[in-house]
Structure formats: C-alpha cells, structure tokens
Amino acid sequence: MNYGIVIKVLGKILKIEALLMVPSLLVSLYYNQNDKLPFLISICIIGIIGFIMSKKSNCKKTIKAKEGLAIVTIGWFLCSLLGALPFVLSGSIPSWVDAFFETVSGLTTTGATIINNVEILPRGILFWRSFTHWIGGMGILVFTVAFSHTIGAGGFQIFKAESPGPMTDKIVPRIKDTAKILYITYFAMTILEIVLLVIGGMPLYDSTVHTFGTVGTGGYSIKNSSIGAYNSTYIHMVIAIFMMLSGVNFSLYYALFKGKWREVLKDGELRLYLGIIFVSSVLIALNINSTLYHNIGLAFRDAFFQVSSIITTTGYATANFDQWAPFSKSILLLLMFVGGCAGSTGGGIKNIRILVLLKLIKREFSKIFHPRAVIPIKYGEKVISNETVASITSFFALYIIIFILGTILISLEGIDLESAASAVASALGNVGPGFGFVGPTRTFSEFSALSKMLLSGLMLLGRLEIFTIMALFAPITWRTPRGKSAEAA
C-alpha cells in the first residue's frame, strides 16, 4: 500500500470539501443567519487538515487498485465525519452521532433524516444539508479527478471504485475528460431544473435546494411535508421527471449529444428502467384510485411521482404513501431494491444487474432443453464475461444477506418487521423514507445511537456498492510486499 499517495489525495479531497462549504457560508451571509461563524470555523478546520495532509511528500504518485479502494472508502468517511461540523457547531444537531448520520445520509444521497422540524433551521445549514446531495450524487472524488491537475492516470482507480454499477467504462479515453463530461451534464441538468421550478412559482432558494435533492437523487427538503407542501401539479411533475432523468446512466446523455440516438433507444437497461416505472405507476394508480383517490388523474400523478422517487432512491413525497394499500406499498418496497441505472446518481441494486440476472435465469431455462448449448449473456452486442456475471450474482447474494442481517439487528429495537425491513432497505438502497416507524411523515430520530451508526454504515455500503468497503478490510489490501518500504509499496 502506498500510504503516502493515499494521505496526499485524501488531503486534496478535504480541501475541496472545505471549498464546497463556501456557498453555504455565502447563503448564511446573504440571509444574515446565525450559522455564519460555525461555517467559517468548519471551513478553516477542514481546510487546514486537508492542507497538511496534501503536503505529504516522498511518495510515489502511482495509484493502483489498493490505493483507489482506500482513498474512496476513507475519503467518504472523512468527508462525512468532518462534513458534520456545521451541524454540531451551529447547534442545529448537537449530537455528533446524529450529525454524522445526517451528513452520511446527505452525501450518500439517502435522504433519511433525524430532524423532526427542518423549517426552524437556519438557511445556511439547510443549504449545506441539501448541497451534500448534489456533492454526493456524482461523487466528491469524481469531482476531485475532474478538476485536480495532480492525480493523473491513477484517477481511473478512484473513478472505478466510486462509480456505481458493475461495469465502469470511460466515455472518452482520458478519465479526467470523462469526469468533466459527467459534471458538465450534471451542471446542465441542475440549472435547467432550477429555471423550470422558478417558472412554476417556486422561490429561487427553494428551487435550488430541491434541485440539489432531485438531480442528486437525495430527497432532503426544507419543508416538513416534503414536496407535498407545494400544491402544484406543475412542480410535482417537473421534479418527478427530473428524478426519473437523474436515474438514467449519464453516459447516455453524452451519446445523445453525439447524435447516437439509436444506441440510446436500444439500450437494454434504459428500456427495463422506463418499463418498470411505467408498469409500476399504472398498477399503483389503479390500486390507489379504487381505494383512496377516486380521481384517476390525481392517482396517476401521485403514483408516478412516488414511483420515480423510490426507484431513483430520491425519497421525496407528495403523499403519505404509508397509508396506501398493501399492494402499492409492496411495489414501492421492491423498487427500493431495484434502484436506478448504473452510472446514474441513483442507488439500489441497479437495473443492469437485474437485467443480467433475468438473462441468466433465461439461459438456465434454455439449458434444460439444450444442455450442451453455449449461450452467452449479452448486453446489446457485447458479450458479458463470466467474471462479470459471477460478480453480479455475488453482489446480489451479498446485498440480500446484508439486508437480512441488518433487519435482524434493527429489529432488536423492538419495532415491527415492516418498519425494520424498510429502514434497512432504505439505508442500503440509499432511498430515505420507508414504512411504518420510518414512513414519509416520520424520521429516524427515535432509533438508538447504535442503530443510527449501523444504518450510517449501511448507507455507505450501499453508496460504494459493498465490495469497495469490504475489500478495505481484507489483509492483502494493507500488506506491503517483501523487500519494499511502506512508502514505495
């Protein structure tokens, strides 16, 4: 392990986190809020720590797989730990455990909160809280790769370790340019949604923070009743559509920009993703219309919004879906596991893995009748390697095992199975709200400190897709080859 380069890059990441707190400080200054000093102190502390770490010298600049895994995992933990400073110093969230939970939830774009009344918090704190979604959506380390001039070719190891999905491809040959293209797309979607929400009558500040939660698929709102506080079908639909767009693989937007329409339209993962949204929205709309709404237009509006919110793991709400019929709630629970597309800001298992698993099941059925046939699993025209298929099946099995174990541990709190299972599914899938004890009108504040730390760990596992974090605990990751110093390893 090249410890020197790990410390150096982590220092650069912390300097960028300090820089990313500046907009929240400016918001606090503009609105003359009482959280100005906490932000200033936080920026100084994080900036100084980052500056000291980034000055690490006498280290090789090579970043291999081991270093990439360490940088990503430790980087996310440090950013969450230090990102909690403004909450604690301002007194908005006095408990460090609660502040850490809130920051992890923000950066992992989960959106689960322990704050019972967000509307009393200072605007700077609320801005930072939502801005963590925007930062974590694309990834603070991808941002570092895109705009740092000193990471170089080793940035691909960081990009690969942080990017969601089983197959990480460069859009263009240089990884730095790939990261820039992704962030340019991210910026464009952010600005467009802000403009459309302002046109719909939402104040600029509200539009900005809710856009952060939408394109980052996070779900933090500045209203206690979430998006339901804005009684506007136009606003609901704009946010629903942008949630759906944010769950799409961002590389497809670059393909559209390059005029490759056929390639996008033929994308199997995109078709599955849109198909699930359409079918789920129709089924839920029909179900809740017959039981609650008795107005098919309103039923479809709320159904489409919640389906888009849950499958993209955003977590916004326009209605208390915990009161919906069991059939509709069951669909939403399944969508928590499915998640968005690979290469999007959404969490969950990802549609590409679901698609490969379905193809694998189909192949096994075919082999019953043709046992000697060699049937490759394809994604488009590309044959998926057996190693990738094995990785996907292993990920799925591990995901379910962690979900079951997490549910058992959370149930020790004495809450019902539906609440425990949905809380774990929500944390692991980076969704936000669940059912019952953690429904859309409730918070996670009543959990014990141990459960909050467990759920925080599940959020990080879900965002970094399990293997990245688990690999960090393997002895081989930290082992220094014989004959090499720790710095040169």
| Assigned token pair, 341 | 């597309």
Residue type, 146: A
DSSP annotation of 384: P
Would you mind telling me the total number of residues written for the chain in this entry?
489
In this prediction, residue 381 carries a pLDDT of 79
Cα 42 from chain centroid (whole Å): 24
Lowest mean pLDDT of 47-56, 209-218, 300-309, name the range. 47-56
Cβ-contact 91, 46 below 8 angstroms: no
What pLDDT does residue 488 have? 44
pLDDT(355) > 70? yes
Cα(122)–Cα(104) distance, rounded to whole angstroms? 20
Block residue for tokens 């994308």: 267
Please give the Cα distance from 489 to 477 (Å, whole number): 11
For residues 231-252, give the mean pLDDT.
94
Q: What is the arithmetic mean of pLDDT over 173-198?
A: 84
Q: Which residues are annotated as a binding site?
A: 109-110, 218, 313-314, 430-431
d(CA 46, CA 119): 27
- Specify the amino acid at residue 350: K
Among residues 321, 359, 338, 320, which one has the least CA distance to residue 279? Answer: 338
pLDDT at 445: 93
29-38, 121-130, 361-370: the lowest-pLDDT one: 361-370
> Phi and psi dihedrals of 378, rounded to 5?
-115, 150
Q: What angle do CA 470, 476, 478 make, to 5 degrees?
A: 85
Residue 461, pLDDT > 50, answer yes
Q: Helices 296-311 and 233-246 sit at what angle, rounded to 10 degrees?
A: 30
What pLDDT is attached to residue 112?
Answer: 95
What's the whole-number average pLDDT of the chain? 88
Cα gap 72→154, rounded to integer Å: 13
Mean pLDDT, residues 9-16 taken together: 91
Lowest mean pLDDT among 13-22, 150-159, 448-457, 467-476: 150-159
Q: Which of 393, 396, 400 is nearest to 364 (CA)?
A: 393
Does residue 487 register a pLDDT over 50? Answer: no
Q: Say what the alpha-carbon torsion angle 14, 125, 30, 200 is, to the nearest 10 degrees.
A: 110
Q: Amino acid identity, residue 191?
A: I
pLDDT tens across 138-176, in order?
776 666 655 555 554 445 555 555 556 565 555 554 566
Determine the pLDDT at residue 203: 96
**Over residues 249-260, mean pLDDT:** 88
Model pLDDT, residue 51: 93
pLDDT digits 0-9 by tens, 435-456:
999 999 999 999 999 999 999 9
342: left (phi over 0), alpha (psi -120 to 50) or beta: beta
- As a whole number of angstroms, the distance between CA 277 and CA 310 comes to 10
* pLDDT score at 179: 72
Cα-to-chain-centroid distance, residue 328: 24
Please say if the pLDDT value at position 480 is more than 70: no
Give residue 129's pLDDT. Answer: 97
Would you say the C-alpha torsion 341, 346, 350, 351 has a positive or negative sign? negative
pLDDT tens across 73-90, in order? 899 999 999 999 999 999
Q: Is residue 489 scored above 50 in pLDDT?
A: no
Determine the average pLDDT of the residues in 253-259. 88
pLDDT score of 176 = 65
Q: Please provide the DSSP assignment of 32-83 as one string.
A: T-TTHHHHHHHHHHHHHHHHHHHT--S------HHHHHHHHHHHHHHHHHHH
Binding site, annotated residues for K(+): 109-110, 218, 313-314, 430-431
Element (H, E) at 379: strand 378-379
Each residue of 375-431: pLDDT tens digit? 888 887 788 888 888 888 999 999 999 999 999 999 999 999 999 999 999 999 999
Sequence spans of domains, the chain: 1-162+447-489, 173-439
Mutual angle of helices 296-311 and 326-338, in 10-degree steps:
30
Residue 191 has which token pair?
A: 């600005």
Q: pLDDT value at position 464?
A: 85
Strand segments, DSSP code E, in 99-167 are: none
